[in-house]
Chain A
Amino acid sequence: MKRKEINNLINSSIQKNTPKLTKKILSAPINVSNNAVEVKAEKQRAFVFNKPAVKWISAVACVLVVIVVASILGVAFAPKNVDTPVTTLQTTCYQIDINPSILVTTDKDGKVLHVSSCNDDGDVVLSGEVFDEYEGMNIEEFVKVFVDESAKLGYVDLSDQNNEMTITVVNGEDQGKLQTIANTLSEKIQNYLRESNIYMYVKGACQSISDFIKDLGFENVGNNMDNYLEQLESKNKFFSADSISDSFISDIENQLRQFVDELRQKKDLLNQLDNINDKIDELCGHDYWLSKSNYQLGIGDYSQEVISLIEQGNSINDQLYELDLNIYSSIKLNAQLVKYEIIDDIIIFVEDIDEYLKDKSFLDVILIFISEEDKEFYIQLQEKLTYYYEEVVEKIENIYEERIGKYLDSYLNRPQISEDDYDDFLASKN
């Protein structure tokens, strides 16, 4: 028996056993108020964040964003040994692209911590023995080895003086500062290569983390993250959540606010669509979906009022579609969880918004920063999260099913219209 069926069974049994309205109750006097009764319209509940939750979610989301980027790109601290401006972050990411393309992580002294590839060619180059011991190399030395190896494998012709390299710095600081870091580092590397008679134009670029992640796609972010984090954590004890989170908080907060705003808009649109549906039902005895299909197929004779309602419904539908895409991307962006201390806050947050969610990936939880000492706690937590995940997913599915359920029959049985007919219909309207 499914959970939903158990819920129904319990509710139905409770209903059967609930006492009926008896004379004992009805004989009790109603203390009528002397105050004038004023039926207030419901004050639309503003979607206000639980502040501590926002703070924590934001902070940890920030950390995760950094870690996710780090895990894919490799994270490098602003390298002091190249005289670049020091970032307020402890880590910065570099994407080095001469096609092959790779991602490099360095520590705050500019020493390489980790390297990974961005494409197949990068994979081939990095598989060379020369990269077995890259850890601790200066970024400039590392880049030179990378260029040499790429040339050896035929990816780059070093006799060609028009070669180009792009170094993209990715982190959450302001773009101006990032660009300065990127330019300084590029120049330094360009000069370093030149000393070895490698002539290459090295271009500095920068990208914010959120843009970077959008470009990268969240599907990719998940790949290999666990292994990478494991390595990064075991080797870099300084990789502290708190110290790198602050500068991202406002950015993530804004994203969360936007996300909630979109959910609120979605609720409004769904309500509007419900109203339109009811009105159409009143006027012609069937709902918006069927009327829409019939109208487009030229079946039935609809009054101007119904046609106008159908068109309003179409417009709302389009808006809902757009909004769903945005909400989906927002959910994805915020789905990269989370440090364990804030799980309760996250749960509260989700309970607040779950009636507007249809996408369960919001709860795809990835736990990080779990130390050995916390192992037992971690296991319990995983258990709780798994249970919670299952429950909320089901709840969300039920809510969604309930929302679309009333339209489902009409929708599935609606008359079909061919593309040609639809084009004709649009043409006839024009």
Chain B
Amino acid sequence: MSDRQHLDDLLLKVRSGDEKAFEELYSLTSQKVFGYVLSMVKNYHTAQDITQDTFVKIRKNIDKYQSGNAFAWIMQIAKNTTYNEINKSKRVVPFEELPPKKKEKSYVIDDSGIPILEIIDNRLEDTDRKIVLMHISSGFKHREIAKILDLPLGTVLWRYNKAIKTLQNIIKEEYGE
């Protein structure tokens, strides 16, 4: 059974109330959703919150799911949730009403010891960061990214490769790998 068919199966099972299927669905797709959201919001906490909200919405709206492209459906919910959040944050908040700024938690670093997500956040241009995260962690094809970011496909390809080379150079120079 292909991944796509498996996801479709899982969503259909969730639609009939199967919690086990939802757990599996979460383990298979949460990483991709998080990668996409992180690419769009560039904030660890917000990305985590939006990822969780996305799955809440999936549960609430599962009855609307029609058998088909399951992953596209999930990502569409992720996109909508992200855009809602971005729009919300654009609203003007009086200064005195702003919550005290929390100390930003840094990313959990994997066993390699290279803080790759921080490097991506701080050292890549914003567009390049989005392209890299969407492509690598969420599995979007370049042409899909071109559509999402409203850029020519060639530019996406070019920027992606430029960004990867930048990361390679940084890792080589600063971490000796």
Contacts and interface: CB of A to CB of B under 8 A. Distances in A.
Interface of A: 1, 3, 6-7, 9-19, 21-22, 24-26, 28-35, 37-42, 343-344, 347-348, 351, 381, 383-384, 387-388, 390-391
Given A13-B108, A14-B35, 16 more contacts: A1-B177, A6-B167, A9-B110, A13-B107, A13-B116, A14-B117, A14-B133, A18-B31, A19-B48, A25-B56, A25-B59, A30-B22, A31-B61, A33-B62, A37-B16, A351-B142
14 contacts: A14-B34, A14-B35, A18-B51, A28-B59, A30-B17, A31-B63, A32-B63, A33-B15, A39-B67, A347-B154, A381-B154, A388-B157, A388-B161, A390-B161
Contacts of A10: 116-117, 120, 132-133, 136-137
Interface of B: 1-2, 4-5, 8-9, 12-17, 19, 22-23, 26-27, 30-31, 34-35, 38, 44, 48, 51-52, 55-56, 59-63, 65, 67, 107-112, 114-117, 120, 132-133, 136-137, 141-143, 152-154, 157-158, 160-162, 164, 167-168, 171-172, 177
Contacts of B115: 13
A31 B4 CA distance: 22
A347 B161 CA distance: 15
Contact of B158 (A6, A39, A351, A383): A383
Contacts of B19: 26, 30
A397 to B, nearest CB: 15
A147 to B, nearest CB: 52
B106 to A, nearest CB: 10
A19 B63 contact: no
Given A25-B55, A347-B142, A17 B117 contact: yes
Contacts of B110: 9, 12-13, 15-16
B114 A9 contact: yes
B45 to A, nearest CB: 10
B31 A14 contact: yes
B152 A344 contact: yes
